[in-house]
Amino acid sequence: MGKRIEGKCKLCGQVKPLTFEHVPPESAFNSLPVREIPFEESIKLMTGEDGRLPWDMEGLKGKLNQRGGGGYFLCSDCNSNTGSWYISEYVRLVRTLHEVISNLNPNTNDRCYFEVEKLHPLQIFKAIMTMFCDINNGCFGDESLREFLLNKESNVFNKEKYSVYLYLTKGPMVRINSLAAICRSDVGIVIQSEISRYPVGAVLYIDKPKALTPLGLDITQFADCKYSDECNVSFYGIPLLEINTQFPDDYRSKDEIVKGIELSQKEKTLEEN
Ligand SMILES: [Zn+2]
């Protein structure tokens, strides 16, 4: 018998028994056991404590989740509805992107140009927004977003407030970040959440500063399609980015990170002398 967990469904908002949901979907390369590192331990990865590099998880405490990454986010109705309405189409896209990466074998920061035939853009967009509501503990207090996801046909989506960008990634690091506000000297405050797991990463921006040009490909216009619309979708210019840390907005290569650490150590030694 599985354990019974009751709580507030992140989508419909009702208090009900919740069912386990994979984020990203299980058949989108999320079926292998994952080690869930508690926050105190993950700090060691972020601070480089005891000379640890950000991708070196060896010896960290954490329990193994045999099922893959996910959690108890949705009630069984919302889980099965979003699964059949949106997630199956998202899985199809992810599997196609896996083939694209295998065929093109792009390098870090390369931009790729390809077209995927017969996609249902609105379904894919709603799958991604559902995952962002899952990991952010609800629909950001936004009733219209809740309605957009609960009514599969709805096109009422606030594109002024929310925007979603996609990029390709080769893994193996997974980065699932709930909303964080990053203060950037060039564009100001950036509020973003990210779900990144081979072969694709998605970043949600809330009230994205006009001056910010994200690295990924903007797919927010997918929200304008009708539920049953089937289109050939161009992914022109989608970049391949590297994920080596748990920091939001950090797409540095391992080389760049090591050089950055060496530089800061050098500066520290200079200060001390
Ligand atoms: Zn629900």
Distance CA(140)–CA(172), nearest Å, equals 29
CA of 15 to the centre of ligand 1 (A): 8
What pLDDT score was predicted for residue 2? Answer: 58
What pLDDT score was predicted for residue 172? Answer: 85
What pLDDT score was predicted for residue 39? Answer: 67
Q: Is 144 helix (H, G, I), strand (E, B) or coil?
A: helix
pTM comes to 0.91
CA of 137 to the centre of ligand 1 (A): 12
CA of 198 to the centre of ligand 1 (A): 28
CA of 219 to the centre of ligand 1 (A): 26
Nearest by Cα to 223 from 120, 139, 78 = 120
What pLDDT score was predicted for residue 1? Answer: 45
Nearest by Cα to 147 from 166, 124, 129 = 129
What pLDDT score was predicted for residue 77? Answer: 96
* pLDDT of the chain, 273 residues: tens digit per residue: 456 899 999 999 999 999 998 888 888 888 777 777 776 777 777 667 677 888 777 777 777 777 778 899 999 999 999 999 999 999 999 999 999 999 999 999 999 999 999 999 999 999 999 999 999 999 999 999 999 999 999 999 999 999 999 999 998 888 999 999 999 999 999 999 999 999 999 999 999 999 999 999 999 999 999 999 999 999 999 999 999 988 888 999 988 988 988 888 888 888 887
CA of 77 to the centre of ligand 1 (A): 6
CA of 235 to the centre of ligand 1 (A): 32
CA of 12 to the centre of ligand 1 (A): 4
CA of 142 to the centre of ligand 1 (A): 15
CA of 135 to the centre of ligand 1 (A): 14
Distance CA(132)–CA(196), nearest Å, equals 11
CA of 9 to the centre of ligand 1 (A): 5
What pLDDT score was predicted for residue 182? Answer: 93
Distance CA(198)–CA(115), nearest Å, equals 19
CA of 132 to the centre of ligand 1 (A): 15
What pLDDT score was predicted for residue 72? Answer: 93
What pLDDT score was predicted for residue 60? Answer: 76
DSSP code at position 117: E
CA of 272 to the centre of ligand 1 (A): 57
